């Protein structure tokens, strides 16, 4: 099937594909002993130990009147072995002449992006164009009924399209995703089996977590037994959905969800779209439960959490303190418009704030790009007064909290023995990459070049 591509994706990929890679500066005798890493223009590396030259790394901030005005950078050579960064060297220095070396072309190296909320198992991406059919006034119950009809149609393409979505994420610098996966009476465990099969095939170039997601309601669709089977089959998280609006029994629904998590030693990631009294009650009940149940500390993620957008600053501060103390995370798609989430307040309060695609193109929305750098850009626009410092800090949202420089301008990434998962970006610094949503030229996962090409 023909892949759907945005104009930006097409331009980015086309630009990247004009570059080529080569061995640089080795003698013919040394070259004869090199591992077989392919020919010029390679798009994958078959070797596990090599040098990567001309990598642009951020090294510090420049200040004027005690304000950050510029990010300093330096070209370095990385030595990568068995998926780890084992040395940071003076640029173009190769102590072991028998190792191959490649050229990053002066591109900025940033931590690989992490998509913490996506639905890989049900998508139109990779198939023919299809717009959602959601008339004004459509309720979540209407969408559940639509999905019950749609799932059998999508299921034959689950593996193919999930893999295509992973390709898209990699082209945006993402090498890790947490995917929600439908567990419902229509699809049973079939979507889970398909998604686990895809992730198993892609484990060398991509890492995924799976949330068993009762999209049609945990109680409403009577899938508690299926959810337990999903845990036994390898799901990493117990999912949930609006315990009042969908299940109609907030306490019973949440108690059932948490009990499954406790019984199998799993985390919880729940979709909470509810606002008003229902959302407030659900949020407080979840916080109470985690506070009273030590084994749940650090194991709850609340996706969307729209109710927080309806609260006063003081109310959010109180809840944020409790959330931070119990290591409860929030995943937001950074919605623009009137639903202004207090993401900066949460982040500043110590809450782990993450982002994700949610939908690229499916029966919910056609607008997703799969680009976490774009999410960081949106965060910077909505929540900060743009400056070199605030733009560079906004990168945290794309990378799961990893930044090249800390707030004091000290270099904290990469370090020796860090996993060699990163993106090469056509930008001079993090601030520019966030502000301009700069093109990615290559993506590496555990030392493997998984998307793009290196410079000639």
Per-residue DSSP letters for 11-79?
HHHHHHHT------S--HHHHTTS-----TT-SS---SEEEEEEEEEEEEEEEETTEEEEEEEEEEEEE
What average pLDDT does this structure show over 202-211? Answer: 97
Superfamily of domain covering 114-370: Metal-dependent hydrolases (3.20.20.140)
Distance separating alpha carbons of residues 210 and 199, to the nearest angstrom: 9
Strand partners, 443: 423, 451
**Distance of alpha carbon 308 from alpha carbon 150, whole angstroms:** 32
The model's confidence at residue 421, banded by pLDDT at 50, 70 and 90, is: very high
Look over the chain and give the mean of its residue pLDDT values, rounded to a whole number: 91
Region for residue 149 given its phi and psi (left: phi exceeds 0; alpha: psi -120 to 50; beta: otherwise): alpha
Distance CA 77, CA 90 (A): 6
The token duo for 442 is 């290559």
pLDDT 10s digits, 285-302:
999 999 999 999 999 999
DSSP state at residue 383: H
Q: How many CB atoms lie within 10 A of CB 420?
A: 22
Whether 29 has a pLDDT exceeding 50, the answer reads no
User: Which residues have CB under 8 Å from 84's CB, separation 6+?
Assistant: 417, 418, 419, 420, 447
What is the percentage of the chain residues whose pLDDT exceeds 70? 90
pLDDT for residue 1: 38
* Cα(93)–Cα(97) distance, integer angstroms: 10
- Domains of the chain by residue range: 7-106+404-452, 114-370
Beta bridge partners of 77: 89
The predicted pLDDT at position 455 comes to 77
Alpha carbon distances (Å) from 110 to 37, 49, 393, 423 = 24, 20, 13, 5
The Cα 139–Cα 152 span in angstroms is 21
Residues 21-36 have a mean pLDDT of 32
Give the span between the Cα atoms of 407 and 84, in whole angstroms: 25
Report pLDDT digits (tens) over 226-256.
999 999 999 999 999 999 999 999 999 999 9
Which two structure tokens, joined as six digits, stand for 265? 């030693």
CA distance 28 to 33: 9
pLDDT value for 133: 86
- Topology of domain 7-106+404-452, CATH: Urease, subunit C; domain 1 (2.30.40)
- Percent of the chain whose pLDDT exceeds 90: 86
- pLDDT for the residue numbered 46: 79
How many residues make up the chain in this entry? Answer: 456
Mean pLDDT of 130-145: 88
The average pLDDT across 276-282 equals 97
């Amino acid at each position: 099937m023909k892949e759907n591509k945005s104009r930006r994706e097409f331009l980015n990929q086309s630009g990247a594909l004009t570059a080529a890679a080569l061995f640089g500066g080795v003698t013919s005798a040394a070259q004869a002993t090199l591992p077989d890493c392919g020919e010029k223009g390679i798009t994958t590396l078959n070797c596990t130990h090599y040098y990567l030259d001309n990598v642009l790394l951020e090294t510090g901030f420049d200040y004027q009147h005690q304000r950050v005005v510029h990010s300093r950078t330096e070209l370095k050579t990385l030595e990568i072995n068995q998926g780890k960064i084992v040395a940071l060297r003076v640029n173009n220095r190769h102590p072991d002449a028998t190792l191959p070396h490649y050229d990053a072309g002066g591109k900025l190296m940033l931590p690989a992006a992490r998509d913490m909320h996506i639905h890989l198992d049900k998508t139109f991406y990779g198939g023919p164009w299809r717009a959602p059919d959601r008339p004004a006034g459509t309720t979540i119950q209407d969408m559940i009924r639509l999905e019950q009809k749609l799932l059998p149609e999508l299921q034959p393409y689950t593996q193919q399209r999930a893999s295509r979505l992973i390709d898209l994420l990699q082209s945006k610098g993402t090498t890790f995703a947490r995917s929600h996966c439908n567990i419902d009476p229509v699809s049973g465990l079939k979507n889970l089996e398909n998604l686990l099969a895809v992730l198993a095939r892609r484990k060398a170039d991509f890492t995924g977590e799976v949330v068993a997601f009762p999209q049609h309601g945990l109680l409403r669709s009577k899938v508690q037994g299926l959810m337990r089977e999903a845990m036994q089959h390898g799901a990493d998280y117990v999912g949930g959905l609006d315990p009042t609006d969908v299940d109609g029994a907030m306490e019973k629904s949440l108690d059932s969800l948490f009990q499954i998590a406790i019984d199998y030693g799993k985390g919880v990631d729940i979709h909470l779209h509810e606002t008003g009294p229902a959302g407030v009650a659900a949020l407080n009940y979840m916080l109470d439960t985690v506070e009273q149940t030590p084994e749940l500390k650090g194991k709850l993620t609340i996706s969307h959490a729209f109710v927080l957008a309806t609260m006063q600053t003081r109310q959010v501060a109180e809840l944020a303190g409790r959330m931070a103390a119990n290591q409860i995370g929030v995943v937001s798609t950074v919605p623009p418009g009137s639903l202004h989430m207090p993401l900066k307040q949460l982040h500043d309060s110590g809450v782990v704030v993450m982002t994700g695609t949610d939908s690229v193109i499916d029966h919910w929305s056609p607008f997703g790009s799969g680009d976490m750098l774009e999410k960081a850009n949106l965060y910077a626009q909505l929540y900060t007064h743009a400056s070199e410092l605030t733009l560079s800090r906004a990168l945290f949202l794309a990378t799961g909290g990893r930044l090249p420089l800390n707030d004091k301008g000290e270099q904290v990434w990469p370090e020796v023995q860090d996993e060699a998962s990163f993106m090469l970006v056509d930008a001079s610094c993090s601030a520019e990459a966030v502000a301009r949503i700069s093109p990615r030229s290559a993506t590496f996962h555990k030392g493997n070049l998984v998307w793009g090409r290196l410079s000639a």
